[in-house]
Amino acid sequence: MVIGSSTRRLVGKQAESSLTGFGLLRRFAPTILVLLLFIVLWLVVASRTSPYVLPSPVSVFRQLVTLFVDGTVWTHVGATLYRVTAGFLLGTVLALLLGLVASSSPVLRLVLRDLSSILNATSVFVWIVLALIWFGLTDRAPIFTTLMITIPVLMSNVFEAIDSLDRRLLEMASVYRFTALDRFVHITFPSVIPYLFAGMRVAFALGLRVSVVAEIFGVSTGVGYMMNFARDTLRTDAVFAWALILITMMLLVDNIIFSPLLRWLTRWR
């Protein structure tokens, strides 16, 4: 009797696992099909054009293998992640501090909102040029550029969270004579967190792209530098390989860090 019950549970788990696997396959089947069609089209077009213009998927894959085997990828991916993470974290801290300031005064909130709009309208190339003038060929140039691009995105989300605060909680804080810091810690900050995480997801992706562009002009390591170096040496297959590495970096960060954090945050709420 016990054996039969255990067997049924085992069969049930296997069936559930099979259904889960089938569900995942059905979920990603259209995307996989489109990717396969894209690769076939890529092969056909590459066979009729110069490798300098469009290398074949085979040559790009070989270049990827070479980059991983000789360890080149780890050095430059690590450099890029360090720069974008430093600028991104600085932007997050500043956005929270500005949120504290904005929550204390409607006038300051209006001024900071206008400042955020100005920063958002400023071209990334302005910050890149200024970073090169101020910091030269150092890590601080892409870090500064990433910081200036991510701040307005995060500030916009923080201000949106502040505008959506429960007015009853603010009235209660006024009745109990909360200080500006207490109001921020106990009311504003918990309300800002969901909006902040949503903004962080977008800001990090934007910061990664911007940091790579800054690396083309200002440093001698990183994914952007290697893409530019491959272009200078007429290695289009390497340009494609580094582009695929960049896409993979963003997908991994999004699915390993931000997606689990957002799921945890939703469960907590």
Q: What's the whole-model pTM score? A: 0.73
pLDDT band at residue 14 using 50, 70 and 90 as cut-offs: very low
Residue 16 has a pLDDT of 45
Amino acid at site 44: V
Residue 2: pLDDT band (50, 70, 90) is: very low
- 105-136: b (≥16 Cβ within 10 Å) or e: eeeebeebeeebeebeeeebeebbeebbeebe
Cα separation, 213 vs 225, whole angstroms: 8
Alpha carbons 114 and 94: distance in angstroms, whole number: 16
Q: pLDDT tier at 195 (50, 70, 90 boundaries)?
A: confident
d(CA 162, CA 172): 16
Q: What angle in degrees, to the nearest 10, is found between the helix axes of 189-218 and 72-104?
A: 140
pLDDT for position 17: 44
Q: Is the pLDDT of residue 5 over 60?
A: no
Nearest to 122 by CA among 103, 101, 147: 147
pLDDT at residue 27 in the model: 66
Distance from C-alpha of 182 to C-alpha of 173, rounded to nearest angstrom: 9
Q: What is the pLDDT of residue 180?
A: 65
What is the model's pLDDT at position 173?
A: 66
Range picked from 31-40, 94-103, 227-236 for highest mean pLDDT: 227-236
Q: What is the per-residue pLDDT for 249?
A: 86
C-beta of residue 83 within 8 angstroms of C-beta of residue 139: yes
Mean per-residue pLDDT over the chain, rounded: 78
| Mean per-residue pLDDT, 126-153 | 86
Q: Is the pLDDT of residue 137 over 70?
A: yes
- The full 3-state SS of the chain, as one line of letters, equals CHHHHHHHHHHHHHHHHHHHHHHHHHHHHHHHHHHHHHHHHHHHHHCCCCCCCCCCHHHHHHHHHHHHHCCHHHHHHHHHHHHHHHHHHHHHHHHHHHHHHHHHCHHHHHHHHHHHHHHHHCCHHHHHHHHHHHHCCCCHHHHHHHHHHHHHHHHHHHHHHHHCCCHHHHHHHHHCCCCHHHHHHHHHHHHHHHHHHHHHHHHHHHHHHHHHHHHHHHCCCCHHHHHHHHHHCCCHHHHHHHHHHHHHHHHHHHHHHHHHHHHHHHHHC
Look at residue 38 in the predicted model and tell me its pLDDT. Answer: 83
pLDDT per position as a tens digit, 245-265: 988 888 888 778 777 776 776
Q: What percent of the chain has pLDDT above 70? A: 77
User: What pLDDT, on a 0 to 100 scale, did the predictor assign at position 174?
Assistant: 67
**End-to-end C-alpha distance for the chain, whole angstroms:** 44
> What does the block give as tokens for 126?
């302005």
Averaged over 169-191, what is the pLDDT? 68
Predicted confidence at residue 181, as pLDDT, reads 67
Q: How confident is the model at residue 37 (pLDDT cuts 50, 70, 90)?
A: confident
**91-110 mean pLDDT:** 78
